Structures are given as structure tokens and as C-alpha cells.
Structure 1
Amino acid sequence: MKTTTYRRFTVDEAIDWVTHLCEAKGCSPTVAASLAHATVAAQARGNQAVGFRHLADYLPGFSSGRINPRAEPRISSAGAIILKSDARGGIAQLGVDRCFDSLCHTARTNGMATLSQCNSFTSGELGDYTLRFAQAGLIALAVANGPALVAVPGAKGKTYSTNPLSFAAPSADGIPLLFDQACSAAAFVNIAHAASTGSDIPEGWAVDQDGNGTRNALAALSGALLPFGGHRGANLMLMVEVLAAGLTGANWSLDAPSFNQGAQTPGCGLLILVLAPEFFATGFEQRLSSQLSRLTQMGVHRPGWERQHSMINAQNDGISVPVDLLGQLSRL
């Protein structure tokens, strides 16, 4: 059996490594820095599917034209609490970075704020956005779409992307409540990774090109993903689609070009709602901390706890990345 060799980086070293890699692909310094910080944060939290492995989607995207490596988002306002970002074919992360401080200020002034973004590459780690707002003392809900990958019950072909959603809220114990999940039974990047390693996938994740359930990851890539929970998951996908694509003016998943083939941007959408809890009820963070503690004592899983502790460990001990993956990315 082959032994995996790892290279250890400090967080800052990892950010520098990814930044230089992106700049070598023609990215502007701002695009490279934004993507590097998001990538390393995901890796440090143990969310490897959208960490360094996801760069294997970004780097060819810069070369092919699916991602504009120098796009500066066009930011505008619509009323007192809504910011709009046209990513102009670039990465999703930079639009959020450009609007983050304004969204925080607007939410603290008015009780809420919203970011509506269109025309970007896929969203990356959606939880990175909501967690940052929660760390600033705000509640955040984010939804995003992408090219159609999922076949819902009764549909003839793929209808939606994995259409992820993420929620985060600040807690007095210093560890925000956080979840970040696809509305499909599994994220596409996890199936793609299984295919690259020759691993099987669990039952219920996907169907092959003939619509038959499969555990073969390569057959799944030729077929379609499945929603979790059948029609219930499909309903959530439709809700996310309406908010992330319909409301933002982004491409519907059915109309979005592929994120890993061709030369066109998928033109994805992202919607983030930010709430200032003090406008709604006093003592929110303490109440949430007490409730989470009570639920934990009852055996309830606390979403996001492990990932945030992984981030703390990474700040102290650094992060490890497979040498083979680093070589693959360098060759790209």
C-alpha cells in the first residue's frame, strides 16, 4: 500500500504558497489573496474538499476562461440594507470580501443587511462567509447555486446544483454555531475525489447515466447526484435556487455552463442575509451558549464545533497537505 507523504505549512506559509500559485496563473493580487485566504481557511478547518483539492478546479478555470483571473466585482447598493455584487465572471470570494465591512456596519445600524451576488464561479466554502459574520457578532444565512448536477425524483435529467446553504450564529462561549451543507446527499467534490482515488461511494449518493443507483464514483460522475431526503431535499434545493439564482439575477442551474469544462463562466449566484441579534432580543449570545450546552449534554451534535477547533489547532501547529497534491497543483 502506498504511503501518503505530507508537507507541513504554517497558515501564513500556506497562504503565500497558494497566492503565488494563483498569481502564476495570471490572477491579480486581490483575486489571488482572496482565494488563498479562503482555500487555506477551509483546509485548516479540515474541509479538504473545498481546500487545496478545490484548487484543481480553480487553476484550469483561470486558464480556460471559465474564471476571469483579474475580475474586480462591481458593487452597488439597492436601498438602505441591500448590497449587490456583479462578480463579472470572477471568483465569488472577492465580492464577499469587498462587501464584508459594509454589511457588518449596515446590519449593526439597521438590524439586517443583505448581499446579492451574481455572475461568479462557484461559491467555494459557503461556511467561510457565515462564520466570519458570526465571529463579528452577527447571525448569517447564505445560499448559493451552480451548474445542474442533481436529478430530483421524477425529473428527466439534472435540474439543480448541489445548492448548498450555511448558517452561523455567535455564541457567548466563543465558538459560533455553524453548519454548511449541500442539499444533495453528497457534495460533488466528494464524489470527484472518490473517483480520483478509485474509492466507492455510499448508496443513495448518485445514479449512473441510465438512472440506476450506483456506488461507483466514476459512473456517478457520468450520471447525476441525488438530493437528500427525496422530495424534501428537492424542495430545499428549489428554495435555494429561487433565492440564489432567481433573486440575484444569476443563471438558473439549468442554464449555468459547466464549472469544469468549456470557456464560459457558470455565472453562479450567492445570497447572504445578515442579522444583528441585539435588534431582536437581549442576551442572545448567552442564551444560545446555554441552549447549546444543554443540547450537548443531551447528546445532540453541535455543528461546526470540530472544524473551528481544527482551525485553532492549525494556527498553532500548521496544516499538512499531501505532497502528491501539491505536485499536481504545481503542474497545473
Structure 2
Amino acid sequence: MIDVPGKLRALGFSAEDAQTLADHFLDAERRGRTGHGLSRVDWLATLPDLDPSARPRVEIAEGGYERWDGRGALGYLTLAAIVEAQLADPPERARVIVAAHCFPTGMLGYWVRKLAEGGFVAALTATSPARLGAPAGGPKLAGTNPLAIAIPSSDGRPIVADVSMGAVTYGDVLTGAAAPEELVPFGGAQAHKAFALALGLQLLVDSLTAADGYGAVLFLARPEGDPVPGLRELAAGVRLPGDQS
């Protein structure tokens, strides 16, 4: 059995941060998202600017809007701090959180699930190195830029949709599950749709962070309705997004 927190502490992370990272990686493994799982532990050791002591900071907090800066902290830890802060001091109705210098962010569904379990509707996107080009060819213009949406449920089983705009993820390439040339917008003949979403999300984040590097944008709100139980009844046992098989 691999001591995941121990390996992360050996990289210089505090016990608390090592456990936060390990929880994320192990959850990814359990959900079959191995590209976001334990392979990332060794990958972290290759990052030239890894700074285990860095801490994110809130720069603006105005009720319905917050701006954070990762300040060299891993995106995983920045998002963990943001999620914890929202649950500790939730918005009256809704809030937008912009995070500059927030990378890598990992499996976005993991973060919005925590918010849904806390009773919030949440949507999160994040940018990454440009690896997707237009299906017709040309330069790489957008990251795989996933979008994760979580809807809470009175039955305790939220719906969590988490979709990358790539046919495969960069994590799949890292683990050898996919070749680099397979990292293109998903959709085959309809790939222009995924490319449009990737580019739109890229510009959304870039316009709101107004900073070099990569970032994330989170929206959360208190729900007015409870549609998930009815959807599950209608689905009649069909596995829905975010459910574990």
C-alpha cells in the first residue's frame, strides 16, 4: 500500500496539505480518473517551480464576489481553500469567485461535489496549457478547459457533471493511456463544438482573472428547487453523471 501523504510530505508539503492532495488523488483513482490520480504525485516532483510553502490569498471579498490569487500554491490547494472558505462563510444567495494563478486544479468535479454536499449549486471551470487547436488545423489555442457542474439533492446524492473539452485528457497522456496526437477536441465530425466551448471558457477565465498564467472561475448559489430526486426516478436506475458504478 502506497503511503500517499508520506510521499507528498517528502516533497515538502505540510501534513495538512499532503492529506488534502492525497484525498483528491485517491478519490480520482476510486472514480477511474487515473489521469488525475496517483500518477500526479510523481508528476508534481517534476515541476520546476513547485513551492510547498506557498499559500493562496483572498485579494477582494465583496459578498457576491471574491478574487483569489494562488501566489505560487498548487491549484489543488487554492481550490481547496476556496471551497472551505465558501462553506465556512456562504453567500446569502450567490457568489462568483475568480482565482488567478491557479494551476493545476485536478478533477474539477471533486471540488464542486463538496459544495453540492454542502447544499449549493456550483459550476467551475479552469484553464491549462494550450493543447487544443481548431479541427481545421492551426496553432494550439485553448487548454482542455473542463467544466464541472454540481446540483445538490435532498436524497444526499448530487449530480456532478465534469467534462473536459478534449477527446482525452493530458492526464491520459501522462499515464500512457493515450497518445499526444489523440489530445484534440472531442466530437469527431462535431469537434468544432467542443473547440468553441474550450475557447469560450478560456476567454471567460482570462477576461476575469486578467493575469498571466492559468486560472479558475467558480459560481455557486443556493438552490430554489430540488430537481435531482425526480430526475433519478425518471432515469429508472440509469447511471447518471458523477455516480459511481
**Please, what TM-score do these two structures have when normalized by structure 1?**
0.67
What count of residue pairs does the alignment treat as equivalent? 242
Task: Name which of 305, 321, 329 aligns with 2:243.
Answer: 305
- Residue of structure 2 aligned with 1:275, choices 221, 224, 241: 221
Alpha-carbon distance in 2 for matches of 1:290, 1:228: 30
Deviation at 1:19, TM superposition (A): 2.1
Question: What is the DSSP-based 3-state SS (H/G/I as helix, E as strand, rest coil) of the residue aligned with 2:105?
Answer: coil
2:81 match? 98
Greater Rg over alpha carbons, structure: 1
- Cα separation, 1, equivalents of 2:15 and 2:206: 29
Superposed CA RMSD in Å reads: 2.2
* Residue equivalent to 1:226: 184
TM-score by length of 2: 0.89
Match runs of 1:1-332 below 5 Å: 7=1, 17-61=3-47, 64-65=48-49, 67-104=50-87, 107=90, 109-194=91-176, 201=178, 217=179, 221=180, 223=181, 225-229=183-187, 230-251=191-212, 267-277=213-223, 281=224, 284-285=225-226, 287-294=227-234, 296-297=235-236, 301-306=239-244
**Could you say what secondary structure the match of 1:185 adopts?**
coil
What is the DSSP-based 3-state SS (H/G/I as helix, E as strand, rest coil) of the residue aligned with 1:231? helix
Cα pair 1:151 1:224 within 8 Å, conserved: no
Q: Deviations over 1:119-171 (max 9, x none)?
A: 13211111111000011111110001111111222342211111111011111
- Once residues 194 and 116 of structure 1 are traced to their aligned partners in structure 2, the CA distance between those partners, rounded to angstroms, is 33
CA distance in 2, matches of 1:122, 1:95: 9
Mapped contact 2:168–2:183 kept (Cα < 8 A): yes
**Alignment identity in percent?**
26
Q: 1:105 to 1:35 in 2, by over 3 A?
A: closer
Cα deviation, 1:261-296, whole Å, max 9, x if unaligned, reads: xxxxxx32111111100xxx3xx23x32112320x1
Higher relative contact order (CA 8 A, sep 6+): 1
The alpha-carbon distance between structure 1 residues 21 and 181, as it changes in their structure 2 partners (threshold 3 A), is same
Q: Which residue of 2 aligns with 1:260?
A: none
Q: Equivalents in 2 of 1:247, 1:224: separation in Å?
A: 30
Q: Which runs of 4+ in 1 moved over 6 A?
A: none
Q: 1:82 and 1:46 mapped to 2: Cα distance?
A: 34
CA contact (8 A) 1:143 1:243 kept: no
Q: Is the 8 A contact 1:31 1:70 kept in 2?
A: no
1:209-255 CA-to-partner distances (Å, cap 9, x unmatched) read xxxxxxxx2xxx2x47211232111111012112223212344xxxx
Identify unmatched segments of 5+ residues in structure 2: none
Structure 1 gap ranges (5+)? 1-6, 8-13, 196-200, 202-216, 252-266, 308-332
Q: What is the match of residue 208 of structure 1?
A: none
Change (3 A) 1:89 1:162: same
Q: 1:303 is paired with a residue of what secondary structure? A: coil
3-state DSSP of counterpart to 1:83: strand
